[in-house]
Amino acid sequence: MTQEKPPRIFAADQQARWVSNHAGIWSLQGADLDSVPTLSILTTLWDQPRWLEAYHLYDKRGSELFEQICDLPEYYLTRTENAILERHAGEIIANAPVQCIAELGAGYSKKTVHLLSHQVRRRGNCIFAPIDVSRSALLASQRAVQKDFPQIEFHGVHSRYEDGFSAIDRDLPTLFVFLGSSIGNFNHTDFPRFFQALSAAMGPHDFLLLGADRVKAVKMLEDAYNDNRGVTAEFILNVFGSINRLLQSNFERDKMRYHSWLNPEWQQIEMYAVSREPQQIYFPTAETSFQWQKDERILVEISRKFDPIRLQEQLGFFGLLPVKHFTDPNEWFSVLLFKKQA
């Protein structure tokens, strides 16, 4: 463990809680990022209907498959959002006078590079604090950012979103960045909980930049989540391999298929694993099992689609005031800038 002094991104009462075991990467002392998944998996699989929380999808293979999804011709989200950021990063940074950029679920921080380069150009310096539960993603982000922007102070925060953003000093003007329409993967309970916690953690000089995929024609949406090459199906069904490793369960890839559709009332893509035959699923570590019936669906992920104006109004109730709305020529995707109400 390296004996680094916790950086000034952390509030004074948080400094002692964060430790570094790799220069520039911080973790909460004693935090066990693996303890919650077991309980989450078992409780949601015993719900009616059965479902899973989306974060289980991102084991090593899942993260690789998601990277492949981002490059698929049908999956317009990543390239559309990237083009919006490339075009408007200067204006975004001009409207958000901050010293720190904190990215939630940073992944490899590919799109954020546009913001970092304008921040450096305009203000000369910057702290970049990606927050991610994946250590390998933080290390990859660190390598890329330190190579291209040696003047940026990099502090990777290895934690769940809420632990990470609530530790950041409220007096340090910060732009929180949450891209990729990841808010679409929150259900109707997690969504308000997330924005309540984020807004409470934000200081009076803070901003939020949010990427949100928009409501649009059914075919385009359904194709984006059911690609010709079957990468999305592989990504969704891969979660059961990861559950098998964690819980020594016996889900079998060959005994399930992928199904997705746009639920028009909820304006969300729903992604399911469907059992091809009746099967008993055992969880030896928890000494329990359930019968997965033929054609019974497990909801693995939802991806909600948004009306940007309504979203702006909704976030106003959390004390987040709209500053600017950026979109692409087809109006497929929105990047929204908010300011925390002082």
According to DSSP, the β-strands at 207-213 and 333-340 are antiparallel
Query: Phi then psi for 299, rounded to 5 degrees?
Result: -80, 110
Q: Judged by CB, which is closer to ligand AVI: 10, or 76?
A: 76
The closest residue (CB) to ligand AVI is 303
272 SS3 class = strand
How many residues touch ligand AVI under the rule CB under 6 A: the total is 12
Nearer to ligand AVI, 167 or 269 (CB): 269
Q: Which of 108, 194, 195, 225 binds ligand AVI (CB under 6 A)?
A: 225
211 lies in the site for ligand AVI, by CB under 6 A: no
| Contacts with ligand AVI, 69-88, as mask; x by CB under 6 A | x-------x-----------
Neighbouring C-beta atoms of residue 136, cutoff 10 Å: 11
Minimum CB distance to ligand AVI, residue 29 (Å):
29
Q: Which alpha helices (DSSP H) does the chain contain, by range?
A: 35-45, 60-70, 76-95, 113-123, 135-148, 161-167, 190-201, 218-224, 231-237, 239-247, 308-316
By CB under 6 A, tell whether 268 contacts ligand AVI.
no
Instruction: Single out the residue of 75, 81, 136, 143 nearest to residue 114, CA to CA.
Output: 81
Q: Which is nearer to ligand AVI, 247 or 271 (CB)?
A: 271
For residues 233 and 337, which CB has a smaller minimum distance to ligand AVI in the complex? 233
Does 232 bind ligand AVI (CB under 6 A)? Our answer is yes
Locus of tokens 């990470």: 164
Closer to ligand AVI by Cβ: residue 44 or 288: 44
Contacting residue, 27, 181, 268, 275, with ligand AVI by CB under 6 A: 181
The residue type found at 310 is: R
Q: How far is the CB of 185 from ligand AVI (least distance, A)?
A: 5
**Stretch of 110-118, 139-147, 178-186, 278-286 contacting ligand AVI, by CB under 6 A:** 178-186
CA distances to 12, 112, 197 from 170, rounded to whole Å, are 10, 22, 13
Q: Which residue, 119 or 303, has its beta carbon nearer to ligand AVI? A: 303
Asked if residue 258 binds ligand AVI (CB under 6 A), the reply is: no
Conformational region of residue 135, where left means phi above 0, alpha means psi within -120 to 50, and beta covers everything else: alpha
Q: Within 13 Å and on the Cβ side, how many CA atoms surround 121?
A: 11
* Contacts of residue 33, Cβ cutoff 8 Å, sequence gap at least 6: 133, 158, 159, 160
Can the peptide bond before residue 49 be classed as cis, meaning omega within 30 degrees of 0? yes
Least Cβ distance, residue 332 to ligand AVI (angstroms)? 12
In angstroms, what is the minimal distance from the CB of 300 to ligand AVI?
9
* Choices 121-129, 181-189, 243-251, 322-330 (CB under 6 A): range interacting with ligand AVI: 181-189
* Cα–Cα distance for residue pair 255/116, rounded to 1 Å: 46
CB of 98 or CB of 137, closer to ligand AVI: 137
Of 150-158, 179-187, 192-200, 313-321, the segment contacting ligand AVI by CB under 6 A is: 179-187
CA 52 to chain centre: 15
What residues numbered 289-308 form the site for ligand AVI, per CB under 6 A? 301, 303
Contact set with ligand AVI (CB under 6 A): 69, 77, 180-182, 184-185, 225, 232, 235, 301, 303
